[in-house]
Amino acid sequence: MKENPTETTIRAWTRLMTAQQLALSSIEHALKAAELPSLVWYDVLLELERAGETGLRPFELERAMLLAQYNLSRLVDRIERSGYVERRACADDGRGQLIVITDRGKNMRRKMWPVYARAIEAAVGRHLSARQADTLSEMLGYLIDRLKGG
């Protein structure tokens, strides 16, 4: 394995990070302009809605979100104070807890989606042809698979 990346690899990395930051910034701006919570709230609500009535243990949500435990704990506290999630005792583990989305949380996620969808289109979709988007998706999928050890 080479010790130093090539200039081409460095350029690809820099452009990937820049594109991500610009896209996320424009999406966050769109959510804020619509007076909606931030994108990470949407992601938490989506993961919990996908989990269904059983919810997720904090470590499961942490794994799905790729967030450090201390960040996730504070984030869930804020989302819970807004009434979008609730914590329940875990039947399998008396000390454990489950995080479950509430009806109010489901409604908020659904309210956020149209703004998020338009922002994705504005940040990415309108700048790429269907073929370019497919190629980019394929390349990033390949990279993700390799990084996961696939």
C-alpha 143: how far from chain center: 18
Q: Bridge partners of 93?
A: 90
pTM of the prediction?
0.88
Question: Residues 8, 10, 15, 16: is their CA dihedral positive or negative?
Answer: positive
**Higher pLDDT residue, 84 or 96?**
84
pLDDT, mean over the chain: 93
The per-residue pLDDT for range 43-59, each reduced to its tens digit, is 999 999 999 999 999 98
Instruction: State whether residue 67 is helix, strand or coil.
Output: coil
pLDDT bucket at 130, cuts 50 / 70 / 90: very high
Residue 5 has phi, psi (to 5 degrees) of: -75, 155
Q: Quote the CA–CA distance of 113 and 117 in Å, as a whole number.
A: 6
> Do 112 and 49 form a contact (C-beta atoms < 8 A)?
no
Residue 68 pLDDT greater than 80, yes or no: no
Q: Which domains does the chain have, with CATH numbers?
A: 7-147 (1.10.10.10)
